[in-house]
Amino acid sequence: MARSEFAEFLIARRAQLQPEEVGLPAGRRRRTPGLRREEVAALAGVSVDYLARLEQGRDTNPSMAVLGALSEALRLNEVERHHFGKLAISMEQGRDCPSAGQARERVTETVQAVLDAMHPTPAFVVGRWLDILAWNAAWRDFAEPLGLFDEVAEGNLATYFFAHPEAPRRWRDWPRGAAMMVSALRAARSQWPDDERLAALVEALQRFPEFACRWREHRVTEFRSGALEVIHPQRGEVEVEIESLSPAIDQSVQVWLVDRRGAATPALRLVNE
């Protein structure tokens, strides 16, 4: 699966680049979108045959120089380069380094105590598949009216964003939030390529066209932090700043700093109690 991910990434990103973006003439109308294989090979300084072997999964050990040259040719940003490198490492290690064990679906008492101590700042824990594993009272108070605890969300952030009919209306920056969900699952896929439950989640989400389209594009973005605007049914328009902390390799604490613009006034708190 890791080999397929690397190959799919190369093919998808090649298809998304237009000739004029890399200084090439557009020429005649193309049968398929994006750059031709020989154009990317020329830009990266590798042979067409070698690039074909990478895209077909027949070569699993590209050098750092080749990865760097392909990153430049495909115009990858810093986040995308990091993801590309992780895919290459996973591909090289292959079966000699299988995915690390069972995912932890429970948080420790210490982590729960940290969540509770953060009140009134909303905070919760997500697992490797973006399952919501634990939370404090402030986060539940804020998230429940948004539908995050509804049955359709299945206790999973990605499922909520793509399956819940209210999500696109509640999150003004829904496309950005959706991109963050897909990126997080892409990162998990590169970290645990043999995780059957992760594969099942991705397959289940494919029934939603918005997810399927984003998944095919192999685009990655920063998930650990960012700001999204929410139209909250009780609090009105709210800006949510997201910060992530990682107490374990397959768990992260998500801290939602809610409307700090209003919190600048001493009389106001981050979240209404």
CATH number of the domain to which 6 belongs = 1.10.260.40
Q: Are residues 47 and 164 in the same domain?
A: no
Hey, CA dihedral for 192, 196, 198, 202, is it positive or negative? positive
Angle between helices 37-44 and 64-73 (to 10 degrees): 120
Q: Are residues 252 and 136 in the same domain?
A: yes
Give percent of the chain above pLDDT 90.
Answer: 55
Q: How many domains does the chain have?
A: 2
Dist. CA 54–CA 271, nearest whole Å: 50
Band of pLDDT at residue 89, cut at 50, 70 and 90: confident
Judged by average pLDDT, the poorest of 4-18, 23-37, 54-68, 187-201 is: 23-37
Q: Are residues 90 and 113 in the same domain?
A: no
Q: Are residues 123 and 242 in the same domain?
A: yes
Dist. CA 55–CA 133, nearest whole Å: 37
Q: Are 40 and 24 in contact (CB under 8 A)?
A: no
pTM: 0.78
Considering 70, 96, 122, which residue would you say is the last residue of a domain?
96
Band of pLDDT at residue 92, cut at 50, 70 and 90: low
Report the candidate in 95, 101, 89, 86 with the shortest Cα–Cα distance to residue 195. Answer: 101
- pLDDT surpasses 70 at 93: no
Q: Are residues 67 and 24 in the same domain?
A: yes
What number of other Cβ atoms are within 10 A of residue 47's Cβ? 12
One-letter amino acid for residue 227 of the chain: A
Q: Is residue 8 part of a domain?
A: yes
Q: Are residues 51 and 186 in the same domain?
A: no
More confident residue, 102 or 124: 124
The CA R_g of the chain, rounded to the nearest whole Å, is 21
More confident residue, 121 or 2: 121
Q: Is residue 7 part of a domain?
A: yes
Q: Is residue 104 part of a domain?
A: no
Task: Tell me whether residue 53 is exposed, middle or buried, using C-beta atoms within 10 angstroms of its C-beta: 0 to 12, 13 to 18, 19 or more.
Answer: middle
More confident residue, 20 or 163: 163
Q: Are residues 78 and 143 in the same domain?
A: no
Give the position of tokens 């008492």.
Answer: 109
Q: Are residues 150 and 37 in the same domain?
A: no
pLDDT at position 90: 76
Per the prediction, the chain carries an average pLDDT of 86
Q: Are residues 177 and 239 in the same domain?
A: yes
- pLDDT surpasses 80 at 249: no
Q: Are residues 63 and 119 in the same domain?
A: no
Domain that holds residue 89: 2-96
Q: Are 180 and 226 in contact (CB under 8 A)?
A: yes
Q: Are residues 242 and 130 in the same domain?
A: yes
Q: Are residues 32 and 72 in the same domain?
A: yes
Which of helix, strand or coil describes residue 136? coil
Q: How far from the centroid of its chain's Cα atoms is residue 241's Cα?
A: 17
Band of pLDDT at residue 165, cut at 50, 70 and 90: very high
What number of other Cβ atoms are within 10 A of residue 21's Cβ? 11
- pLDDT surpasses 70 at 266: no
Token pair for 184: 């997080």
What number of other Cβ atoms are within 10 A of residue 273's Cβ? 8
> Edge to edge, what strands does the sheet with 123-127 contain?
132-135, 123-127, 251-258, 236-248, 225-232
